[in-house]
Chain A
Amino acid sequence: MLEFILITIIKAVVVVTVLLLTCAWMTYAERKILARMQSRIGPNVAGWKGLLQPVADLVKLLFKEEVIPGGAQRALYLLAPLLAFIPAMLPIAMIPFGNKITLFGREINLVIANYDNGLLFILAVASLSVYGIVMAGWSANSKYSLLGGLRSSAQMISYEIGIGMSLIGIVLLAGTLNLVDIVGQQNVWYKWFIFRQPIGFLLYFVCAIAETNRAPFDLPEAESELVAGYFTEYSSMRFGLFFVGEYANMVTVATVATTLFLGGWQGPFLPPVLWFVIKAVAVLFIYIWIRASLPRFRYDQLMKFGWYVIIPLALANILVTALIDLL
């Protein structure tokens, strides 16, 4: 019992630390890759090739002044960053990032929580993450914040349906919601669910980009019209919490995609954890690549795309998958 508690705590602390470090250096990677794609250099001052840039950013954010706008509703304004940050830290607990390993004679499962309803848990947490954004938009008493928050929440709920529906295909094929079991079923590369659910994967990825408010669906933070959207009025680490939350959500999307569609930690020759990292990083790279390549949607196009294209396609995908599975 005590041993179980101890192992769980160690696993959780290690995974969350890695997650936070990934978020920090992902901002660096994003700036560097975007710069390269636009024939610029990107951050190159702090440390060797600018590698210490995230540290500099962190120090800067920590020492910044915290401004609370006069008209803000203080309690909600202060709560909002936490409401955005905390749900972003939770889904990673369900993701198996490696096979069982034996350490000091004990068998350790490389997943924090081996939960039978893991997939639903991730969706439930995602459905709660809209509150941070709405609260931030509402409480700051600024027009940009309010518009950004409202747009963002309407966008998130529209695409949340798409996310749920696009994953049904996987559940149909796997017959379980336990992510460890789902990875277990993809033990050779041609059994990866991306090959049996290509449309499901595409739908999931598109919806996930919209759900995490990233380009080309980054309307809530459309700088040219809404300044910074719902976090316009935030400064210092309060702003930082939104930022870390957004990147953590991207990492979640990448790891979920890896687990459900790309065979998780399964792969030949290399150690499982390394395979997991390679696949997740590849998905994250595509994220940035898309940002560098595609122009932003207009809001009416975005809503139309979500309701008129994604949902019918997802429903069709479910029925076709069910039919094929039956034959």
Chain B
Amino acid sequence: MELAIFILTSLVAIVAALLVILQRNPIASVMYLVTTFVAQAILFIQLRAAFIAILQVIVYAGAIMVLFLFVIMLLNLRREDFGKDIKLRFKPLAIAFAMVLLIETLVVINASLVPAQPGADLSATFGSVQGVGKELFTTYLYPFELTSVLLIVAILGAVVMAKKKL
């Protein structure tokens, strides 16, 4: 049962991810990316990480993709524009970068492959809001406070870029 759900959701995630880049309509791409994120959320739930799953939906599917949509609508391409202007001379460079990324990914995956431990001992609150919160606000307090600085940089950057005139 659990395996069947896993295979089905991963399939949805992968197919949707492929469709993000394989079809030309940017708004449809956004919708496929949202589908991928929701499928990933289900995978997180299977990993006993309910809080991360909900974050995945709220932050990625619900907030960041809305920004993507706004940017696409802001540029407001006509249908005829889709797919034009792809600079062919960047193609070799793009392929090279993609290869490097692929090899890197393979190396990382290879290094992090740990034999699965059946019945690994998870505490009762593992992955829940309570559990994550406790860790975040005690053990990982410093990184947590640093995120606020990161967020402030994001605010400043956005305002400076968008409002040069003021």
Instruction: Judge whether A120 and B63 touch: CB under 8 Å.
Output: no
C-alpha gap A128/B64 in the complex (Å): 11
Asked if B152 is at the interface of the complex by the 8 Å CB criterion, the answer is: no
Instruction: Judge whether A131 and B31 touch: CB under 8 Å.
Output: yes
Q: Choose among A120, A123, A138, A157 the residue that contacts B27 (Cβ–Cβ < 8 A).
A: A138
Whether A73 contacts B62 in the complex (CB less than 8 A), given A116-B128, A128-B57, A138-B73, comes out as: no
Q: Could you tell me the dominant secondary structure of chain B's interface residues?
A: helix
Q: Mark B7-32, 1 if CB is under 8 A from A, else 0.
A: 00000000000000000010110010
CB under 8 Å from chain A, chain B span 100-144: 128-129
C-alpha gap A134/B73 in the complex (Å): 10
CB A167 to nearest CB in B, in angstroms, measures 13
Task: Find chain B residues with CB under 8 A from A145 CB.
Answer: none
Q: Choose among B34, B54, B62 the residue that contacts A117 (Cβ–Cβ < 8 A).
A: B54
Instruction: Judge whether B58 and A124 touch: CB under 8 Å.
Output: yes
Instruction: Judge whether A120 and B129 touch: CB under 8 Å.
Output: yes
Q: Mark A250-291, 1 if CB is under 8 A from B, else 0.
A: 000000000000000000000000000000000000000000
User: Looking at chain B, what size class is its interface with the partner chain?
Assistant: 20 to 34
Task: Find chain A residues with CB under 8 A from B43 CB.
Answer: none
Q: Could you tell me the dominant secondary structure of chain A's interface residues?
A: helix
CB B23 to nearest CB in A, in angstroms, measures 10
C-alpha gap A9/B27 in the complex (Å): 35
A interface size (C-beta, 8 A): 23
Task: Find chain B residues with CB under 8 A from A239 CB.
Answer: none
Instruction: Judge whether B63 and A150 touch: CB under 8 Å.
Output: no
CB A99 to nearest CB in B, in angstroms, measures 25
Task: Find chain B residues with CB under 8 A from A177 CB.
Answer: 129
Q: Mark B24-67, 1 if CB is under 8 A from A, else 0.
A: 01011001001000000000000000110010011001110010
Q: Choose among A123, A128, A139 the residue that contacts B61 (Cβ–Cβ < 8 A).
A: A128
C-alpha gap A177/B51 in the complex (Å): 11
C-alpha gap A75/B57 in the complex (Å): 23
Instruction: Judge whether A76 and B34 touch: CB under 8 Å.
Output: no
Binding site for B on A (CB under 8 A): 73, 75-76, 79, 116-117, 120-121, 123-124, 127-128, 130-131, 134-135, 138-139, 146, 150, 153, 157, 177
